[in-house]
């Protein structure tokens, strides 16, 4: 194709792409953008991180202390023997010997050198360096921790609970430095948790909870795939893909890796260890590919039920760039929900007719206040 024609076709293609993206953005904004009144699926652990216990000072074992005492007694005996063998002067007094200069190790320089009687004084046998046990790999380290996970529906700004049915998938993925990679994709340990869920009450509504045992250090990603549910107020179905992270014992590898959800938010900035005001960046993926011009919002759980000047202050809104990326500044401490939404394939409604489906992907993260105390164990 001639270059002029190729340029013309390329320009036309770019123009069509821009029009499609603009139309998508308008439709998404008019019909599918979540608002502060929107329902979100809550998925949060009982604590935003689990820190390793503070190591205690290492003490010598009793046997090692006895060995050190024996070595000291032998050293004292040699010193006394050396003094007894020193030649006496004319007055019959033993010649005083100037103390030897200490070496770099702090021991007298005379150690290991010939004694006054001409025989080589046995130098203290250097203690065999104890071979420090290699730090066990994370997969071999056993810990005894647990965390409670809360799952429910709510309106975050209003701090209102909503009834939620059990999700169709709930699992946890564990990453660490030994997580294998296959074809460029990490293969974390996976544990299905749907059978561990129990019905509970939260904000006077039906909710779900799970107590999860943590037996190894790692970066844990909890994930949910909700069931489509009917939103009668808006005449549509909603379905959420949700995830959150939990670093355990200082492991952070894995927070930037996708978990393979159909619709997913992947952080570009570390989503824990944040202090308000903090920046949070991410990328929206649909079927593993960046989604441009997607509506993204962030809302904080307003546990104080603090009023705001206008409804615009109830959340923060943005759109992804052509790489599917976005960034927000989170100016208050607490649990924040990052949510992107797009239209899905219609489903049969209560009246038997096709009804719109709104797909949402949510990512939960916690922001500390500047006055937060250190999490001690």
State how far the Cα of 298 lies from the Cα of 289, in Å rounded to an integer.
21
Least confident of 132-146, 161-175, 321-335, 363-377: 132-146
Instruction: Flag whether pLDDT at 11 surpasses 80.
Output: no
Q: For residue 29, is pLDDT > 80? A: no
Residue predicted with more confidence, 377 or 127: 377
pLDDT single digits (tens) 173-222:
999 999 999 988 899 999 999 999 999 999 999 999 999 999 999 999 99
pLDDT above 70 for 144:
yes
Q: What percent of the chain has pLDDT over 90?
A: 63
Tell me what pLDDT residue 141 has. Answer: 84
* Arithmetic mean of pLDDT, 13-29: 44
Give the bridge partners for 358, in sequence order. Answer: 238, 343
Residue 38: which residues within 8 A CB-CB, separation 6 or more? 155, 339
What's residue 168's pLDDT? Answer: 97
Cβ atoms 263, 285 nearer than 8 A: yes
CA distance linking residue 266 with residue 41, whole number of Å:
17
Q: Please give the pLDDT value at position 4.
A: 42
Per domain, the residue ranges of the chain are: 25-50+141-368
Lowest mean per-residue pLDDT among 19-33, 68-82, 158-172, 254-268: 19-33
Quickly state the pLDDT bin for 118 (edges 50, 70, 90): very low
Average pLDDT over residues 270-292: 97
Average pLDDT rounded to a whole number, residues 317-330: 98
CA 306 to the chain's CA centroid:
29
Q: Does residue 99 surpass a pLDDT of 70?
A: no
How many whole angstroms from its chain centre is CA 316? 24
Residue 197, CB half-sphere, CA atoms under 13 Å: how many?
23
For residue 81, give the H/E element and its range. Answer: helix 62-84
Average pLDDT over every residue of 336-349: 96
Choose from 25-29, 60-64, 264-268 the range with maximum mean pLDDT.
264-268
Instruction: Tell me how far apart the 2 most distant CA atoms of the chain are, in Å.
Output: 124
pLDDT of residue 120: 39
What is the pLDDT at residue 140? 65
Q: Check: CB of residue 331 under 8 Å from CB of residue 276.
A: yes
| pLDDT at residue 247, as a whole number | 97
Grade residue 81 by pLDDT with cuts at 50, 70 and 90: low
Task: Between 266 and 122, name the one with better pLDDT.
Answer: 266
């Amino acid at each position: 194709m001639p270059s002029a024609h190729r340029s013309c076709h390329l320009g036309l293609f770019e123009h069509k792409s821009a029009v499609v993206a603009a139309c998508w953005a308008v439709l998404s904004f008019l019909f599918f953008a979540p608002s502060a009144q929107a329902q979100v699926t809550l998925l949060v652990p009982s604590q935003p991180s689990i820190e390793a216990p503070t190591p205690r000072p290492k003490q010598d074992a009793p046997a090692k202390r006895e060995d050190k005492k024996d070595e000291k007694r032998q050293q004292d005996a040699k010193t006394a023997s050396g003094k007894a063998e020193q030649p006496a002067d004319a007055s019959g007094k033993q010649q005083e010997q100037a103390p030897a200069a200490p070496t770099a190790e702090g021991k007298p320089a005379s150690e290991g050198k010939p004694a006054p009687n001409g025989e080589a004084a046995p130098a203290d046998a250097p203690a065999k360096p104890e071979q420090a046990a290699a730090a066990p790999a994370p997969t071999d380290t056993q810990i005894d921790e647990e965390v409670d996970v809360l799952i429910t529906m709510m309106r975050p700004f209003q701090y209102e609970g909503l009834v939620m049915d059990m999700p169709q998938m709930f699992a946890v993925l564990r990453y660490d430095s030994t997580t294998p990679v296959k074809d460029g994709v990490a293969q974390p340990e996976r544990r299905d948790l749907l059978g561990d869920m129990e019905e509970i009450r939260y904000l006077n509504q039906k909710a779900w909870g799970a107590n999860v045992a943590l037996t190894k250090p790692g970066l844990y990603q909890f994930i949910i795939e909700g069931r489509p549910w009917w939103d009668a107020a808006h005449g549509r179905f909603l379905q959420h893909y949700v995830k959150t992270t939990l670093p355990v014992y200082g492991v952070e590898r894995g927070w930037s890796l996708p978990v393979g959800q159909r619709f997913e938010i992947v952080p570009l900035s570390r989503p824990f260890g944040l202090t308000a005001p903090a920046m949070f960046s991410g990328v929206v993926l649909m079927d593993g590919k960046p989604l441009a011009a997607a509506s993204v919002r962030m809302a904080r759980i307003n546990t104080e039920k603090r009023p705001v000047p206008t409804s615009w202050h109830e959340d923060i809104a943005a759109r992804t760039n052509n790489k599917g990326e976005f960034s927000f500044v989170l100016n208050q401490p607490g649990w924040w929900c990052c949510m992107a939404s797009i239209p899905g394939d219609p489903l049969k409604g209560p009246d038997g007719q096709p009804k719109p489906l709104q797909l949402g992907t949510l990512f939960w993260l916690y922001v500390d206040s500047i006055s937060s105390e250190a999490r001690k164990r």
